[in-house]
Structure 1
């Protein structure tokens, strides 16, 4: 009996959550006098089922994440040739997901078109591929979500839903102003994510530096100082440069009307 194959089968049964029923598997294999070829076949079948399970989990996480599926933003699809500076390796190393495992927040700050949202979405997608729950929402959508929660009296369930993801991505801070109720819900969410067990990373994008963010929340300074909690343990990427949107844009100038030659012939 091959110990390596038996261990592989055990690992697969654990992955499939049927390990409890497989404790007597070695005795069964011995009693049935199963050949190495038969064991390999069982191992391959279980391995295939694990692959299918993993693919289904990832597909479900991606669907729930609100990240684009038809034209996904990936790290492989980001043009690193436009990035220069001594700290470019930190940007390239984002794919390791070290921030989410270290419970650190991320922020991508810079003008429009430099790739902030692309990087944030790529990070969320990588989380899903590693079976970590991610959720993407624009700041304007989050603001409306809070307004609706107050209106219909389901503030608790709304915040609970935003606390659960291992990685919460809030895009375009500075595009709207949160009223007092929404501001309080925002910082309740931040506080609860800060104190939750397990991965609790938040990713922000904005064209405003963090020291200007208080302008977009409506509360007194004692509550607004909670903004500091976001950056207690965080990495902020300040991205400068020209927009790379429209690099493949082709402009064709044309005119309408009769030619001058046609007019002269009349």
Structure 2
């Protein structure tokens, strides 16, 4: 009996209607409900809780800018093709220890080895566990920061980038940030560095971090940003052949003038 009341109480807490807990429990007790009736009540609250959590998950996924039609997941990543002494660190990514510990992640390596897939899969897992996630490519971030300076929206732009528990910046090295954008990049990193609660930034790049200076316009701001990004981080240096093209089908055909006496039909 106490187990049923505990489950109902936990669901009420999740639904954020705690103000009604005492009154509901008194009602259930006064009605002298049978175990079967209490289980039915518990089933209703469990259903409402599940519906709320599913709605939150779907909303977070829609707002994350992660692909929904063909989502990148850990289940669809072929871990069997990955080798190395520290492979377990990669396999443990779904546990979300990084975001809960406030550690940043970086996936560095050549094109096609799965960097973006893993970053997106991590962000999707965060959404499923109720953590706000936001994905954008480095050129998109650069444009957003440039526009913020141009239209005087620096504060609101940085605030929006600080809010997500998981911020994914894909393809560092695809564009060059000017001085103003680099300074804003540092401000964003600094704010996130001091943020409480679940918090991680995820970066992907073809370039190792010691070469990122080529793509940012002010050395002092970048060095301060990198110091905060990698102060507590896990960097996966990925090597190997590209996954892309593994479903490529090549068909050999030949065209030319028809032989004499042969009528060509299209």
Query: Given the two structures, how large is their TM-score scaled by the length of structure 2?
Result: 0.95
Q: In 2, distance between residues paired with 1:195 and 1:244?
A: 37
Q: In 2, distance between residues paired with 1:222 and 1:170?
A: 21
Q: In 2, distance between residues paired with 1:233 and 1:241?
A: 26
Task: Identify the residue that residue 170 of structure 1 maps to in structure 2.
Answer: 169
Task: Identify the residue that residue 224 of structure 1 maps to in structure 2.
Answer: 222
Q: How far did 1:36 drift?
A: 1.5
Task: Identify the residue that residue 62 of structure 1 maps to in structure 2.
Answer: 61
Query: Given the two structures, how large is their TM-score scaled by the length of structure 1?
Result: 0.95
Task: Identify the residue that residue 112 of structure 1 maps to in structure 2.
Answer: 111
**Residues 71-93 of structure 1: CA deviation (Å, up to 9, x unaligned):** 00000000112211111111111
**RMSD (Å), alpha carbons:** 1.4
Q: Is the partner of 1:24 in helix, strand or coil?
A: helix
**Residues 202-237 of structure 1: CA deviation (Å, up to 9, x unaligned):** 000000000000111111x33222112110010000
Q: Which runs of 5+ in 2 are unaligned?
A: none
Q: In 2, distance between residues paired with 1:198 and 1:27?
A: 36
Q: In 1, distance between residues paired with 2:235 and 2:137?
A: 18
Q: How far did 1:264 drift?
A: 7.8
Task: Identify the residue that residue 190 of structure 2 maps to in structure 1.
Answer: 191
- Give the 5 Å matches for 1:72-221: 72-219=71-218, 221=219
Task: Identify the residue that residue 15 of structure 2 maps to in structure 1.
Answer: 16
Q: Is the partner of 1:176 in helix, strand or coil?
A: coil
Q: In 2, distance between residues paired with 1:141 and 1:265?
A: 56
Task: Identify the residue that residue 50 of structure 1 maps to in structure 2.
Answer: 49
Task: Identify the residue that residue 243 of structure 2 maps to in structure 1.
Answer: 244
Q: In 2, distance between residues paired with 1:61 and 1:177?
A: 30
